[in-house]
Amino acid sequence: MNFLVRFLLPLAVILSGLAYGLVPLVDHLTTRWFVRDLDIRSRLIVNAIKDDLVPVLKIDSEETRKRALSILKKTTQDERLLALAICTPTEKLIVKTELFPDTVTCKEVRGFDPYRGALKSLSSGDVHVSFGYIEDLVEGDAFNGEKSDRGNILGRLIMLHDMSFASKRSNDSKSYMFGVFLGIGLLIALITVFVARWSMATWVKSVRELVIGVRSRRIDPRSGTVDREFMPILKDLKGLVRDLEASAREKDDAQVTWDPVTLRQVLVQELAGDEVIVVSNRQPYIHNRRGAEIDVQCPASGLVTALEPILKACSGVWIAHGNGTADRDVVDHRSRVRVPPGREQYEIHRVWFSKEEEQGYYYGFSNEGLWPLCHIAHTRPVFRRNDWDHYVKVNARFTEAVLADAKIEDPVVLVQDYHLALVPRMLRAKLPKATILSFWHIPWPNPESFGICPWREEILEGLLGSSIVGFHTQFHCNNFIESVDRYLESRIDRETNGISYKGGVSEVRPYPISIEWPPDRLSEVPSVEECRKLVAVENNLSATTKIGIGIDRLDYTKGIIERFRAVERLLELKPKWCGLFSFIQIAAPSRSSITAYQEFDTEVRTIAQQINDRFGSKTYQPIILKVMHHDPKDVFKHFRAADICFVSSLHDGMNLVAKEFVACRDDNQGVLILSMFAGASRELAEALIVNPYDADQSAMALDLALDMSLGEQRERMRALRAIVKEFNVYRWAGRMLLDAARVRRRNRFTKKMRRWGADNLEVIEKVDPLAKHAGAQMLGISDIGVYKI
Ligand code: GDG
C-alpha cells in the first residue's frame, strides 16, 4: 500500500499529465489531416458537378439558377457537406443551398487559394470553407474575362463542410489517448515496481550475506565467493567493520559494562561461528542419586558462572570429570548430556576415571603435589611417580575428549586449572591451528619453589602448548615467565610477555577472576536485617553481638588457624570484645581423603575449642565453627548478617569469598579484612589489608573493624562494590575471548604473510641469497620456516 502511494500513484499522475499535454498536439495534427482530406474532397466535388454547372452558368436566368440549385442540393446530400453556393466572378452570390449562412460572403472567399479552405466558426458550429473554379474550357468565351489555368472562369463553387465530426473525433481520440497513456503508464509502473522489488530483494540479500560474511570473517574477497559488483561495497564494508571493531576495542574498559549480553556480543562479533570447548576437572552440573530420585547439583563456582554464558551462546561443549553418583545414568552412549536441565543449551561431555586414576591424578599429583607446590603455605608437596603416571594418562584422556568434540581444525579451547597442565601441549600436537587458552586458577610460585617438582619441564612444556596462559595477577605471570626462563630453552619477549618455544608462541597474561554482578542468588536471600536476625537466632547470639564471618573450603591455604589466632589475640588485647563479638567459621569439607587435610581438620577444631575454652562461657562462644557444606543461599545469608568478613589466606590465587561478601552488602555496611597474600588484595584496596601471619596486626584490624563508624564503612564498601561491579566475572571471560580473537587474527595474518613471503623470497633469493634471510626476519618469520614452505 505504501509502495502504491509512493510510487504507482505519482507515476500514473505524471503519465496522465503527459497524456493531457500531448492531446493539443495530436488534436492539431488530426485537424490538419481532416482539413487536407476536406480539400481533396472539395476538388472531387467540383470536378464531379462542374460540367453540369458550366451550361447553367453560361446563361444567367431563373431557369438556369433553378437547375443549378437542384444540382447543388443533390450534392449536399453527403452528410458532411453542409452547404454549397455559387459566386459569379463579380462576387455575386447567385445560387445557394438552404443551410448556406449569410455570414459567408463571396468577397471573403475570394481571398482563399482554390481548394485550400479555412476554418470558420459559425453560431451553428465550426465549418470548413473552400472553393473551386467552375471553368469553361472553350477558349475565348470568357464570362468576364477572368481565366484559370484551365480555362475561362464562370464562377466559384463555395463549399461548406461540417466540422462537427472533427471535434467529435478529436474528443474520441483525446479519451482514447488518455486511456492508452494511463494504461501504458500503469503497465510501466507495475513492471518497474516488480523489477525494482525483485532487484532490491536480491541486492539486499547479497548485501546482508556480505555483511554477515564480513562480520564473521567468512568472506574472502579473493576467494571469488563475492559477486564482482559487490567488490567495492565489500571493500568499504570491511573498512567500516574494521573501524567499528577498532573503536569498540579502543573503548576504555571503564566504559564497558560487562554482563552476559556483552560477553555474548564479544563471542558473536569477535569469534563468530567459531567453536568453543571448555575443559575442566570440575563439571558445571552433577547428577547424584538420592534414593530412587536423581538430583542435579550446581556447584557454587565462579568458574561456572563465567564460562556458562559462553557455552550457552555458542552451543559449545564442556568436557569434565563425571564424578556424580548418577552421572553415568543420564548421559547418552557418547557420554554426553545436555544442560542446563530443562533449558538445554549446551553439552557436558563426561570423562570417566577409575578409582585409582582419580586417586593418582586428582588427589595425588594435583592436590598433594601441585596444590602445595604453588601455594606458599608451608605444607610439603608430595610427588609420587605413580601419581604422575595417572596425571599423564588422565590428561591424555581429556585431550582425546577434546579431539572427539572438535568439529573444526581451529576451535577455541579453554583449558581450566592445574589439573590439566599437559592438555595444551597434547592438543597442540593434534590440532596445531587451535586457539588454546589455559587459565591457572592458583598462584604460580617463584622458580626456586617450582623447581622442587620432578616434572617441572613437562609441566611448563605442557602449558606452553597454549596460545595464551592466564593467571590472576601480573605477579604470578612474572613467576611463570621466570620459571620458563630458568628451566626451558626458550625465547622470551619481555615487552610483550610472549614465550617462543618449539616453534610456537604463548602469551602470558593476567586475567583477575571475579564473580557475577549482581549475584543471581542474591535475589533469593532475605534483607540484611532479616539475615542478621536469622543468623543471631541460629547461633544463640544476642541482637547486639557483633558477628565476624569466615567462609572457606577447609583448606590449609585459607589461613583459618591464623584467623582464629587473630580472634584470640583480639580478646587478649581488647577484652572489652569478650561476650560482644563472635566469629562464625563455615568450613566446607574438602579433599578429606588427603592426610594433610585430615590433620588440618583436627587442628582447626582443636584450636577453636582451645580459644572457646579460654574466652567462652556457657552462653558465649568466641568462635562458632561449622565444618559442613552450606547451601549457597545460606552462605549469602551469613555474608549479609556479618559486621566483618575475614579472609586470611596464606596464599590464594584470587579468593572469591572476599568479592562475594562485597557483592552481598547492598546496604553498604560491613568491613572486609583481607590477606595481603590473596590475589584479591591487588584490587580491593579499600579493605583492611593484613598479613595473616601477624596475629597482632590482624587483631588490630579486627578491633578497627568492630569500632569503625557507619560512615567509614559506607565509604569503603561503596568503593569496593564499584570495583567488583566493574571487574566482574564477565569481564574476566570477555577479556580472554577478546585476546583469543586477537591471537586468531594475528595467526591468520601471519599465515598470509608466510605465503606471501614464501612466494616473494624465492624471487628475492635469485637476486641476492642473503636478502632471503633478511626478508624472512623482516616478515617476522623464521627463514627455516620459509625454506620448509
Ligand atoms: C581457586 C583458587 C580462586 C565455600 N564454602 C562453601 C561454599 N564456598 C564457596 C565460596 C566461594 C568458593 O567456594 C571458594 O572460592 P575461593 O576463591 O576461595 O576458591 P578456591 O576453591 O580455593 O578456588 C582461588 C578460585 O579458584 C577461582 O579462580 O579465586 O584463589 O584457590 O565461591 O562462596 N559454597 C557453598 N557452600 C559452602 O559451604 N555453596
Q: What is the pLDDT of residue 225?
A: 55
Whole-angstrom Cα distance, residue 158 to residue 120? Answer: 13
Whole-angstrom Cα distance, residue 603 to residue 614? Answer: 16
Q: What is the pLDDT of residue 169?
A: 73
Residue 700 CB–ligand 1 contact under 6 Å = no
Once rounded to an integer, what is the mean pLDDT over residues 51-79? 83
Q: What is the pLDDT of residue 575?
A: 98
Which position has the higher pLDDT, 640 or 262? Answer: 640
Sign, CA torsion 346/350/351/357: positive
Class of residue 567 by CB neighbours under 10 A (exposed 0-12, middle 13-18, buried 19+): buried
Ligand 1: centre distance to CA 442 (Å) = 11
Tell me how far CA of residue 632 lies from CA of 424, 520, 637, 668, in angstroms: 33, 11, 9, 21
Q: What is the pLDDT of residue 303?
A: 76
* Interacting residues of 561 by C-beta distance below 8 A, sequence separation 6+: 603, 604, 607
Do the Cβ atoms of 274 and 748 come closer than 8 Å? Answer: no
Q: Cell 438556369 sits at which residue?
A: 64
Closest listed residue to residue 321, CA positions, set 276, 299, 366, 353: 353
Which position has the higher pLDDT, 165 or 462? Answer: 462
Q: What is the pLDDT of residue 221?
A: 46
Whole-angstrom Cα distance, residue 64 to residue 57? Answer: 7
Tell me how far CA of residue 157 lies from CA of 45, 109, 427, in angstroms: 9, 10, 117
Whole-angstrom Cα distance, residue 737 to residue 731? Answer: 10
Q: What is the pLDDT of residue 216?
A: 52
Once rounded to an integer, what is the mean pLDDT over residues 92-115? 86
Do the Cβ atoms of 471 and 444 come closer than 8 Å? Answer: yes
Residue 714 CB–ligand 1 contact under 6 Å = no
Residue nearest atom 4 in ligand 1 by C-alpha distance = 552
Whole-angstrom Cα distance, residue 480 to residue 439? Answer: 12
Residue 680: pLDDT band by 50, 70, 90 thresholds?
very high
Beta bridge partners of 599: none
Give, in degrees to the nearest 5, the angle at Cα 717 between 716 and 718: 95
DSSP structure string for 628-694: S---HHHHHHHHHH-SEEEE--SSBS--HHHHHHHHH-TTS--EEEEETTBGGGGT-TTSEEE-TT-
Pocket test for ligand 1, best of 367, 439, 635 (most atoms within 8 A of CB): 635
Per-residue pLDDT of 361-373, as tens digits, reads: 999 999 999 999 9
Q: Which atom of ligand 1 is nearest to the CA of 632?
A: 39
Per-residue pLDDT of 509-536, as tens digits, reads: 999 999 999 888 899 999 999 999 999 9
Q: Which residues of 340-363 are buried (b: 16+ CB within 10 A; e: fewer)?
A: eeeeeebbbbbbebeeebbbbbbb
Once rounded to an integer, what is the mean pLDDT over residues 468-474? 98
Residue 654 CB–ligand 1 contact under 6 Å = yes
Residue 441 CB–ligand 1 contact under 6 Å = yes
Per-residue pLDDT of 633-674, as tens digits, reads: 999 999 999 999 999 999 999 999 999 999 999 999 999 999
Per-residue pLDDT of 690-716, as tens digits, reads: 999 999 999 999 999 999 999 999 999
Percent of the chain residues past pLDDT 70, beyond the cut = 84
Q: Cell 544476642 sits at which residue?
A: 542
Q: What is the pLDDT of residue 764?
A: 54
3-state secondary structure 591-625: CCCCHHHHHHHHHHHHHHHHHHHHHCCCCCCCEEE
Residue 205 has pLDDT above 80, yes or no: no
Do the Cβ atoms of 463 and 421 come closer than 8 Å? Answer: yes
Q: What is the pLDDT of residue 777?
A: 58
CA atoms within 13 A on the CB side of 546: 21
Percent of the chain residues past pLDDT 90, beyond the cut = 56
Q: Which of 136-145, 488-497, 744-753, 766-775 has the lowest mean pLDDT?
A: 136-145
Pocket test for ligand 1, best of 471, 551, 637, 684 (most atoms within 8 A of CB): 551
Per-residue pLDDT of 116-127, as tens digits, reads: 888 888 877 888
Q: What is the pLDDT of residue 140?
A: 45
Pairing of strands 336-339, 346-351: antiparallel
Q: Which atom of ligand 1 is nearest to the CA of 555?
A: 22
Do the Cβ atoms of 652 and 677 come closer than 8 Å? Answer: yes
Residue nearest atom 19 in ligand 1 by C-alpha distance = 655
Residue 683 has pLDDT above 70, yes or no: yes
Which position has the higher pLDDT, 297 or 547? Answer: 547
Pocket test for ligand 1, best of 553, 554, 600 (most atoms within 8 A of CB): 553
Whole-angstrom Cα distance, residue 586 to residue 625? Answer: 6
Q: Quickly count: other Cβ atoms within 10 Å of residue 771's Cβ.
A: 15
Whole-angstrom Cα distance, residue 329 to residue 289? Answer: 9
133 φψ region: left (φ > 0), alpha (ψ -120 to 50), beta (else): beta
Q: What is the pLDDT of residue 385?
A: 98
Per-residue pLDDT of 561-594, as tens digits, reads: 999 999 999 999 999 999 999 999 999 999 999 9
Per-residue pLDDT of 214-231, as tens digits, reads: 555 555 544 545 566 666
Residue 443 CB–ligand 1 contact under 6 Å = no
Ligand 1: centre distance to CA 656 (Å) = 6
Ligand 1: centre distance to CA 553 (Å) = 7
Residue 310: pLDDT band by 50, 70, 90 thresholds?
confident
Q: Cell 563425571 sits at which residue?
A: 322
Residue 629 CB–ligand 1 contact under 6 Å = yes
Q: What is the pLDDT of residue 762?
A: 59
Residue 149 has pLDDT above 80, yes or no: no
Do the Cβ atoms of 131 and 114 come closer than 8 Å? Answer: yes
Once rounded to an integer, what is the mean pLDDT over residues 430-459? 97
Q: What is the pLDDT of residue 49?
A: 87
Q: Which residues of 524-546 are buried (b: 16+ CB within 10 A; e: fewer)?
A: ebeebeebbebbbeebebeeebb
Closest listed residue to residue 307, CA positions, set 441, 474, 460: 441
Q: What is the pLDDT of residue 244?
A: 64
Q: What is the pLDDT of residue 784?
A: 40
Q: What is the pLDDT of residue 246?
A: 56
Residue 608 CB–ligand 1 contact under 6 Å = no
Residue nearest atom 20 in ligand 1 by C-alpha distance = 655
Do the Cβ atoms of 757 and 776 come closer than 8 Å? Answer: yes
Whole-angstrom Cα distance, residue 455 to residue 369? Answer: 11
Is the pTM higher than 0.75? The answer reads: no
Pocket test for ligand 1, best of 656, 661, 684 (most atoms within 8 A of CB): 656
Do the Cβ atoms of 507 and 739 come closer than 8 Å? Answer: yes
Residue 137 has pLDDT above 90, yes or no: no
Whole-angstrom Cα distance, residue 297 to residue 282? Answer: 12
Q: Which of 59-68, 247-256, 292-301, 550-559 has the lowest mean pLDDT?
A: 247-256
Whole-angstrom Cα distance, residue 737 to residue 675? Answer: 30
Ligand 1: centre distance to CA 279 (Å) = 19
Residue 774: pLDDT band by 50, 70, 90 thresholds?
low
Residue 12: pLDDT band by 50, 70, 90 thresholds?
low
Pairing of strands 317-321, 336-339: unpaired
